[in-house]
């Protein structure tokens, strides 16, 4: 498609710009989307402030290829597609998974595409500009999904974070006798409550400092919620478990305190899942893992094989979305939107509409 479009381009820390750039060209195996909305991720806010995991400490270990159009929580409608694309039609509402795997490296060949060594991620690499724009290209090696018409655009922008939530819950291998604690109830932590609820463990406990989030967690299926400001959470969890501790702790806040809380609350041979991302190095007593409790530690990154079940779950109501989308801004008002995402205590998910 000929013409120009508006896009929010990331040049450097604290240097994002709205620009007019050409509408992307597509190959015969690619899709052009008119973006309806794109959510702001905590990672996008960190990118604005110069997060080291994005910008690196030297040009060599820099992850982002700037300047680049940001945004990986997008949804849009098909306005053009190449002759080699099958199974879609103009006007279909679609998302594409945030990671664009190579399909050839060891991890891709073994089916672990979210660990692809030669991947792109939308909104970070030159090959895959993101959804903070009027149009975007779905890359030929991306993984695309058609969204049922019954789902709204704002719900569709939640698929990416909720899929990440589901993967973290998958990693915990939850069984029916488990007491599961989720530390941090932002949009993704709340998604974890939904995903864990589907597995029917013995009990789900949600932890957060904000009352509104605790209330939503209850609505989403948490049996119990606790505010660490009001009580000694580790003590409470011990009381609930005859002194043993919880079976599973999923860390979804990215705060050092939450890690320490988790290590304290977890039982011997419990499972600890790390999802939250820390702004800097943290310190914990590593001995709890080995010499002490013999804890199984799992990492969780991205959302392999989780988009489809999350789409299904949103449609049948088992993956909750009510109350998650708290703020909407026009693309031009991105500054205000990022500030809201970062600082407004009532903000869960903020989306930009081009």
Residue 201 or 254: which CB sits closer to Zn ion?
A: 254
CB of 220 to Zn ion, least distance (A): 19
Residue 76 or 201: which CB sits closer to Zn ion?
A: 76
CB of 47 to Zn ion, least distance (A): 11
What are the DSSP E strand ranges found in the chain? 4-12, 15-22, 31-40, 68-69, 73-81, 93-96, 99-100, 120-121, 135-138, 144-146, 179-183, 203-207, 224-226, 246-251, 266-274, 296-299, 325-330, 349-353
CA 76 – CA 110 distance, rounded (Å): 31
Residue ranges of alpha helices (H) inside 35-139 are 42-48, 52-55, 106-109
Residue 44 or 178: which CB sits closer to Zn ion?
A: 44
CB of 72 to Zn ion, least distance (A): 6
Residue 233 or 337: which CB sits closer to Zn ion?
A: 337
Residue 88 or 105: which CB sits closer to Zn ion?
A: 105
Site track 53-92 with Zn ion (rule: CB under 5 A), x = hit: ----------------------------------------
Residue 116 or 172: which CB sits closer to Zn ion?
A: 116
CA 335 – CA 331 distance, rounded (Å): 9
**Structure letter (DSSP) for residue 125:** B
CA 1 – CA 31 distance, rounded (Å): 11
306 binds Zn ion (CB under 5 A): no
| Cα 178 to Cα 16, 93, 141, distances in angstroms | 45, 38, 39
CB of 276 to Zn ion, least distance (A): 13
Pick the piece of the chain touching Zn ion (CB under 5 A) from 39-47, 148-156, 180-188, 272-280.
39-47
342 contacts: CB under 8 Å, gap ≥ 6: 45
Using an 8 Å Cβ cutoff, are 97 and 143 in contact? yes
Cross-strand bridge partners of residue 250 = 182, 273
φ, ψ for residue 213 (rounded to 5)? -70, -35
Among 41, 78, 143, 248, binds Zn ion (CB under 5 A): 41
CA 270 – CA 297 distance, rounded (Å): 9
CB of 235 to Zn ion, least distance (A): 34
Residue 131 or 264: which CB sits closer to Zn ion?
A: 131
Chain residues 259-288 in contact with Zn ion, contact rule CB under 5 A: none
Chain residues 131-190 in contact with Zn ion, contact rule CB under 5 A: none
CB of 103 to Zn ion, least distance (A): 6
CB of 253 to Zn ion, least distance (A): 15
Q: How far does CA 302 lie from the centroid of its chain?
A: 7
Chain residues 117-136 in contact with Zn ion, contact rule CB under 5 A: none
Chain residues 88-117 in contact with Zn ion, contact rule CB under 5 A: 101-102, 105, 108, 116
Pick the piece of the chain touching Zn ion (CB under 5 A) from 40-48, 143-151, 169-177, 314-322.
40-48
CB of 164 to Zn ion, least distance (A): 7
Rg (CA), the chain: 20
Residue 101 or 270: which CB sits closer to Zn ion?
A: 101
In the complex, which residues of this chain contact Zn ion (CB under 5 A)? 41, 101-102, 105, 108, 116
């Amino acid at each position: 498609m000929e013409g120009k479009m508006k896009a929010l381009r990331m040049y450097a820390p604290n240097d994002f710009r709205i620009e007019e750039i050409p509408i992307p060209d597509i190959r015969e195996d690619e899709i052009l989307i008119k973006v309806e909305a794109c959510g702001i991720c905590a990672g996008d806010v960190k990118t604005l402030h110069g997060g080291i995991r994005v910008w690196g400490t030297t040009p060599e270990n820099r992850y982002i290829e700037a300047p680049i159009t940001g945004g990986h929580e997008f949804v849009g409608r098909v306005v053009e597609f190449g002759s080699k694309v099958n199974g879609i039609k103009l006007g279909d509402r679609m998302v594409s998974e945030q990671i664009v795997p190579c399909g050839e490296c060891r991890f891709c060949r073994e089916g672990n595409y979210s660990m692809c060594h030669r991947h792109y991620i939308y909104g970070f690499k030159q090959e895959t500009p993101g959804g903070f724009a009027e149009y975007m290209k779905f890359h030929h090696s991306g993984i695309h999904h058609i969204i049922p018409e019954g789902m709204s655009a704002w719900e569709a922008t939640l698929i990416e974070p909720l899929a990440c939530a589901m993967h973290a819950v998958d990693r915990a291998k939850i069984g029916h006798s488990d007491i599961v604690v989720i530390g941090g109830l932002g949009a993704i932590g709340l998604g974890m409550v939904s995903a864990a609820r589907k597995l029917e463990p013995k009990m789900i406990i949600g932890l957060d400092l904000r009352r509104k989030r605790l209330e939503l967690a209850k609505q989403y299926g948490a049996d119990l919620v606790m505010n660490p400001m009001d009580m000694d959470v580790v003590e409470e969890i011990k009381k609930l478990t005859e002194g043993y501790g919880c079976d599973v702790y999923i860390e979804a806040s990215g705060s050092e305190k939450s890690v320490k809380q988790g290590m304290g609350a977890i039982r011997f041979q419990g499972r600890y899942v790390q999802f939250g991302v820390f702004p800097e190095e943290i310190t914990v007593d590593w001995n709890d893992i080995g010499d002490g409790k013999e804890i199984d530690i799992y990492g969780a990154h991205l959302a392999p094989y989780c988009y489809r079940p999350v789409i299904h779950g949103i449609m049948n109501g088992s993956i909750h979305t009510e109350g998650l989308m708290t703020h909407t801004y026009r693309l031009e008002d991105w500054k205000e939107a990022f500030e809201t995402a970062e600082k407004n205590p009532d903000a869960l998910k903020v989306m930009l509409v081009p």
